Homo-oligomer: A and B are copies of this chain.
Amino acid sequence: MLDDLCRQLEQRWHREIPISSAMGIEVVSFAGDELIVRAALTPNVNVHGSAFAGSQFSLASLCGWGQLHMQLARRGLDASIIFVDGRIQCLKPVRADMAARCRLSEEATAALDGLASEGRGRCRLSARIESGGELAAAFTGTYGLKL
């Protein structure tokens, strides 16, 4: 069931966000309230032969978006998820395939819990970009939710 949701999320991104398809984004797993997505280096390379910061931002921001999408699906809620703002710190060059991990935050749980009664909400989520087993970039984004 969770594997089906991961596949559906990946298919939806590729169909409705063409850049996610050009990046070759894959949804790896959703377990223990952690969503993992990944992308190969080749389509996301920059002039230095490492991963383009824009691709890292896209991967991380979609990881946060996907975390909220999975939580909404689990709660049987159909809400819009709107990106508000985000920050990424690139800590070291990404010279191999990369993965983004996003864990559910307490702030996001509170926003999701209040959504049915409030009709809307807003929360921050963080994601880590890892490559070769090391932390390469840190992302924090703010997302709006609207029923």
Stoichiometry, as copies per complex, reads: 2
A54 and B18 CA atoms in complex are apart in Å by 11
Measured CB to CB, the closest approach of chain B to A21, in angstroms, equals 9
A52 and B86 CA atoms in complex are apart in Å by 13
Q: Known contacts A18-B43, A89-B84, A90-B84: does B54 contact A58 (CB below 8 Å)? A: yes
Measured CB to CB, the closest approach of chain B to A97, in angstroms, equals 15
Q: Is B89 within 8 A of A85, CB to CB? A: yes
Q: Which residues of B are found within 8 Å of A52, using beta-carbon distances?
A: 17, 19-20, 58
Measured CB to CB, the closest approach of chain B to A53, in angstroms, equals 4
Residue contacts A-B, CB under 8 angstroms, 27 given: A12-B47, A13-B47, A16-B45, A16-B46, A17-B46, A17-B47, A17-B52, A18-B22, A18-B42, A18-B44, A18-B45, A19-B23, A20-B52, A22-B22, A22-B43, A52-B58, A53-B83, A54-B58, A54-B59, A57-B86, A57-B88, A58-B58, A83-B90, A85-B87, A85-B90, A86-B88, A87-B88
Assuming A19-B52, A57-B57, A84-B90, what are 14 further A-B pairs, CB within 8 angstroms? A16-B47, A18-B43, A18-B45, A19-B22, A19-B44, A22-B22, A22-B43, A53-B61, A54-B54, A54-B55, A54-B59, A54-B62, A85-B90, A86-B88
